[in-house]
Amino acid sequence: MFGLRMAVRRVWQDWGPWVPFSCNSFLGLSSYYSTIAEATDDLTGNGKRREKILTLQSMNPQVKAVEYAVRGPIVLKAGEIEKELQNGIKKPFNEVIKANIGDAHAMGQQPITFLRQVVALCTFPELLDSPNFPQDAKRRAVRILQGCGGQSLGSYSASQGVDCIREDVAHYIERRDGGIPADPNNIYLTTGASEGIMSILKILVSGEGKSRTGIMIPIPQYPLYSAAISELDAIQVNYYLDEENCWALDVAELQRAVYNAKEYCNPKVLCIINPGNPTGQVQSRQCIEEVIHFAWEEGLFLLADEVYQDNVYSESCQFHSFKKVLYEMGPEYSNNVELASFHSTSKGYMGECGYRGGYMEVVNLHPDITAQFIKMLSVHLCPPVSGQAAMDVVVNPPKPEEESYQQFIREKECVLSNLARKAKLTESLFNEVPGIKCNPLQGAMYAFPRIFIPPSAVEKAKDHQMAPDMFYCMRLLEETGICVVPGSGFGQKEGTYHFRMTILPPEEKLKILLQKVKTFHMKFLKEYS
């Protein structure tokens, strides 16, 4: 049994620093462990066990180094508690609320009718004869199918994506950016934004030792970035967002970071997330201009993660695309700065995560690299064509004169106004709690409140070999069923603690959830004061 426990420990130790070994009964990871136990017993049975070829020792060390908290141990734990509830085990709550991930439909948000109509028509074209589908949806479906080989979603598309969908993306960008031109040849449809970000980073990484590519990312960050950097064996260069100033990005901090990084790597890429994830800030136009100027001066390839471009709630804020600001800064910038920007079907008002739709626009790519990039993408054949169709509807929604317009706008505004209300609600309720401080949720779909963790709780967490905010979040999950992600999974200033929580649950549920967090927090403070 000791050997088994050790094996289990190794699994988790390599996953991350915060995982509960010495407290597994307290934290109830028992059923996950027993699954492993069975597997291990099976392997050791019959005296027939041989050394495995693929082990923690022999595996790809870059993959071993990857951490991805959004689906990390706390989410596995939440899944386990869910199964316990299903099996009738009593808990102080009736359901697990997975507020760890921006998964709108899973939280009950309804799909946009028009989007699903178009994709259903593309899927089963016999429906084009049905009187129950509107003409504008049929027109879009016919157009998409005409762009597909054999007029079928089942054909491979070009690796860059279906031509007419890339044209629609380019028109969308032009409308969004007040007429600044977008070239369909610069558009690449992707398998969600994640795969686009991964692929452009992959082609960017090179060098050894001090010349190894450095990739600048915000702290706190969305952990896709740190995971991709680990996998690619690149160098992570942190720049810190200013929590005291609504998580603003300060160019002086970028300068500090790049200056230090040049000591040990070759900083080549600057990643920006706007609106911020997990931090929810919306960058001002002025700030974007400064960042672009900085990238131009320092010779950095810019990555603008703009998947939350439709999710802006504060009346004082507005979304500005990096592409637009770049072109407004004049040809010295717009002819030179290499910029890749990303969008997705997963967020916004549509929340179609499961379709894995997305696009990137890349400007000023060297033509040699365009050919190399398409070659690299072609190995994966193409992004899912149904996801491309979903992306098409996002960039080409019903027009005011079309029959589906009214319903579309009603559904879209319902989702966005709900989110805006919940953003305000969350901020104000968190700020009522002593020991919780939450910046305004200007955009995106998360709160990232700072939490005070008493020194004796920090000590207790150390005993459990956990990061203090992981300890806090595990306790929150155990006692309330609420699953949030510790700030340590995103990065934070030394000695500060946070968690990320989506604001996607329906309003009434969100109120209860926030109330539960408050009660838990007060109890936690009392317990460890």
Which 117-156 positions form the footprint of a second copy (CB under 8 A)? 117, 119-120, 123-124, 127, 130, 132, 148-150, 152-156
Alpha-carbon distances, residue 128 vs 131, 316, 359 (angstroms): 8, 44, 27
Among 141, 191, 111, which residue's Cα sits nearest to residue 388? Answer: 191
Number of amino acids touching a second copy (CB under 8 A): 116
Q: What is the DSSP letter of 222?
A: -
Helix axis angle, 385-395 to 135-146, nearest 10°: 130
Which region among 252-260, 312-320, 331-339, 487-495 touches a second copy (by CB under 8 A)? 331-339
Among 24, 191, 274, 502, contact with a second copy (rule: CB under 8 A): 191
Decide if residue 352 touches a second copy (CB under 8 A). Answer: yes
- Residue whose CB is less far from a second copy, 60 or 260: 60
Which 464-483 positions form the footprint of a second copy (CB under 8 A)? none
SS (H, E, C) 385-449: HHHHHHHHHHHCCCCCCCCCHHHHHHHHHHHHHHHHHHHHHHHHHHHCCCCEECCCCCECCEECC
- Residue whose CB is less far from a second copy, 387 or 440: 387
Decide if residue 368 touches a second copy (CB under 8 A). Answer: yes
Task: Convert 105-141 to b/e letters by CB count within 10 Å (16 or more is b).
Answer: eebebebbebbbbbbbbbeebebeeeeebbebbbebb
Among 27, 99, 187, 228, contact with a second copy (rule: CB under 8 A): 228
Which region among 305-313, 381-389, 442-450, 487-495 touches a second copy (by CB under 8 A)? 381-389
Among 499, 515, 497, 513, which residue's Cα sits nearest to residue 457? Answer: 497
Q: How far is the CB of 487 from a second copy (least distance, A)?
A: 19
Q: How far is the CB of 8 from a second copy (least distance, A)?
A: 8
Q: How far apart are CA 354 and CA 342, in angstroms?
A: 17
Among 353, 395, 461, 466, contact with a second copy (rule: CB under 8 A): 353
Decide if residue 400 touches a second copy (CB under 8 A). Answer: no
Decide if residue 354 touches a second copy (CB under 8 A). Answer: yes
- Residue whose CB is less far from a second copy, 155 or 245: 155
Q: How many CB atoms lie within 10 A of CB 270?
A: 26
Decide if residue 52 touches a second copy (CB under 8 A). Answer: yes
Among 142, 203, 219, 246, contact with a second copy (rule: CB under 8 A): 203
Q: How far is the CB of 39 from a second copy (least distance, A)?
A: 5
Among 92, 131, 379, 495, contact with a second copy (rule: CB under 8 A): 379
Decide if residue 414 touches a second copy (CB under 8 A). Answer: no
Please name the helix (run of DSSP H) or strand (run of DSSP E) that holds residue 219, with its range, or none.
strand 213-219
Helix (H, G, I), strand (E, B) or coil at 471: helix
Q: How far is the CB of 137 from a second copy (least distance, A)?
A: 10
Contact 486, 74 (CB under 8 A): yes
- Residue whose CB is less far from a second copy, 352 or 427: 352
Strands 485-486 vs 436-437: parallel, antiparallel or unpaired: unpaired
Q: How far is the CB of 76 from a second copy (least distance, A)?
A: 9
Q: How far is the CB of 489 from a second copy (least distance, A)?
A: 12
Among 24, 159, 321, 442, contact with a second copy (rule: CB under 8 A): 159
Which region among 285-293, 309-317, 332-340, 436-444 touches a second copy (by CB under 8 A)? 332-340
Q: How far is the CB of 263 from a second copy (least distance, A)?
A: 20
Which 476-515 positions form the footprint of a second copy (CB under 8 A)? none
Which 290-319 positions form the footprint of a second copy (CB under 8 A)? 299-301
Which region among 5-13, 418-426, 437-445, 486-494 touches a second copy (by CB under 8 A)? 5-13
Decide if residue 7 touches a second copy (CB under 8 A). Answer: yes
CB contact set of 209 (below 8 Å; sequence gap of 6+): none
Q: How far apart are CA 138 and CA 127, in angstroms?
A: 9
Decide if residue 45 touches a second copy (CB under 8 A). Answer: yes
Helix (H, G, I), strand (E, B) or coil at 62: helix
Decide if residue 182 touches a second copy (CB under 8 A). Answer: no
Among 380, 383, 362, 376, which residue's Cα sits nearest to residue 161? Answer: 383
Q: How far is the CB of 303 from a second copy (least distance, A)?
A: 12
Length of the chain: 529
Contact 144, 118 (CB under 8 A): yes
Among 43, 89, 409, 414, contact with a second copy (rule: CB under 8 A): 43
Q: How far is the CB of 125 from a second copy (least distance, A)?
A: 8
Among 85, 376, 416, 425, contact with a second copy (rule: CB under 8 A): 376
Contact 280, 447 (CB under 8 A): yes
Which region among 171-179, 278-286, 330-338, 404-412 touches a second copy (by CB under 8 A)? 330-338
Decide if residue 370 touches a second copy (CB under 8 A). Answer: yes
Which 427-466 positions form the footprint of a second copy (CB under 8 A)? none
Which 77-106 positions form the footprint of a second copy (CB under 8 A)? 101, 103-106
- Residue whose CB is less far from a second copy, 367 or 400: 367
* Region for residue 55 given its phi and psi (left: phi exceeds 0; alpha: psi -120 to 50; beta: otherwise): beta
- Residue whose CB is less far from a second copy, 81 or 438: 81
Decide if residue 109 touches a second copy (CB under 8 A). Answer: yes
Helix (H, G, I), strand (E, B) or coil at 267: strand
Question: For residue 237, which phi and psi values (nearest 5 degrees)?
Answer: -115, 115
Q: How many CB atoms lie within 10 A of CB 526?
A: 9
Among 371, 348, 369, which residue's Cα sits nearest to residue 358? Answer: 348
